[in-house]
Structures are given as C-alpha cells and as structure tokens.
C-alpha cells in the first residue's frame, strides 16, 4: 500500500506489519480500502484504541473496547451500537486495523 509516496507493508489480512508506519493519512487509506470514509468521530475512537494499546500492550476485544470508550468518551459512545455505526461488522477488529494495531487475539 502507498501513502504519501511511502510504501507501507501490510499482512495478508490488511493489518500494518509495523506499528511505527501509522499516521492519520495511513488510517484514512486503510479505511478507504474497506469502503469507509473516516470522520472526526472515527478518528476519536482510533486514537483511543492506540492509547489502549500503549497502556495495556493489547488490542482490545469488543467488551474492553466498549468499556474503555465509555470511560473516556462517556456512555453515549461507550456502547456497541455507536461503535458498530462507525465500524460496521466488527468494531474491535476494524478499529484496531485502522489504528495500526495487531489484530485482536480474542476476536472472532
């Protein structure tokens, strides 16, 4: 994948090979490849996912993601309906992908 003239290595599921390659532009391109146009609401959650990873050294599964978002952004956003509206299908997996994190271990 190419972003701003840089070659970015992805694994076969489309996750970044190296966490250090991440930028907001990379996130936007990763999302575009999944047919999603990133908004400020997406980016708010993506940045939170990156903070989760730095704190706990883990990509969150759905339950901890909901809890963490609820704790940081309030109950209105800390629920699966809201997260599903931003990241259809599997918020933990898709969000981790756009945030440049490894695929969550415990994610179906």
Q: Which is nearer to other proteins, 23 or 90 (CB)?
A: 90
> How many Å apart are CA 94 and CA 101, to the nearest integer?
10
CB of 74 to other proteins, least distance (A): 16
Which among 17-25, 38-46, 53-61, 80-88 is the span making contact with other proteins, rule CB under 8 A? 53-61
Question: Which residues are known catalytic residues?
Answer: 107
Side-chain half-sphere of 67: how many Cα atoms within 13 Å?
6
Q: Minimal CA–CA distance to 50: which of 22, 71, 73?
A: 22
Point out which residues bind other proteins (CB under 8 A). 52, 55-58, 60-64, 67-68, 104-107
């Amino acid at each position: 994948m190419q972003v701003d003239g840089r070659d970015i290595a992805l694994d076969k599921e489309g996750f970044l090979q190296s966490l250090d390659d991440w930028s907001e532009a990379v996130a936007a391109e990763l999302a575009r490849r999944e047919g999603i146009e990133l908004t400020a609401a997406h980016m708010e959650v993506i940045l939170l996912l990156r903070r989760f990873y730095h704190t706990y050294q883990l990509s969150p599964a759905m339950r901890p993601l909901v809890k963490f978002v609820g704790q940081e952004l309030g109950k209105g956003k800390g629920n699966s309906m809201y997260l599903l509206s931003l990241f259809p299908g599997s918020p933990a997996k898709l969000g981790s992908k756009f945030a440049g994190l490894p695929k969550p271990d415990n994610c179906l």
